[in-house]
């Protein structure tokens, strides 16, 4: 594992998500389906589009930053 010459600040787990894509996902064709879970809160949602995935993430991040 290589060390970075310009260390970045650590990333907060409050901004971490796990994204699982369905087997029929074809990103190149614009077909994105799956499940997303916020690591800290464990809020989760299924999504049928990139827009729905990003909307869920934005909603959760708004809530996280409102409590900081």
Are 63 and 42 in contact by the 8 Å Cβ rule? The answer is: no
Residue owning tokens 């995935």: 53
Residue-by-residue pLDDT tens, the chain, 68 positions: 556 567 888 888 999 999 999 999 999 999 999 999 999 999 999 999 999 999 999 999 999 888 77
Are the beta carbons of 52 and 34 closer than 8 angstroms?
no
Q: How far is the C-alpha of 41 from the C-alpha of 14, rounded, in Å?
A: 8
- Contact in structure between 39 and 13 (CB atoms under 8 Å): yes
Whose tokens are 């260390």? That residue is: 7
Domain spans, the chain: 16-66
């Amino acid at each position: 594992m290589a060390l970075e010459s310009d260390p970045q600040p650590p990333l907060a787990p409050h901004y971490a998500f796990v994204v699982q894509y369905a087997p029929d996902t074809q990103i190149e064709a614009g077909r994105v389906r799956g499940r997303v879970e916020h690591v800290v809160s464990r809020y989760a949602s299924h999504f049928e589009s990139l827009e729905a995935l990003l909307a869920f993430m934005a909603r959760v991040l708004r809530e996280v930053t409102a409590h900081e």
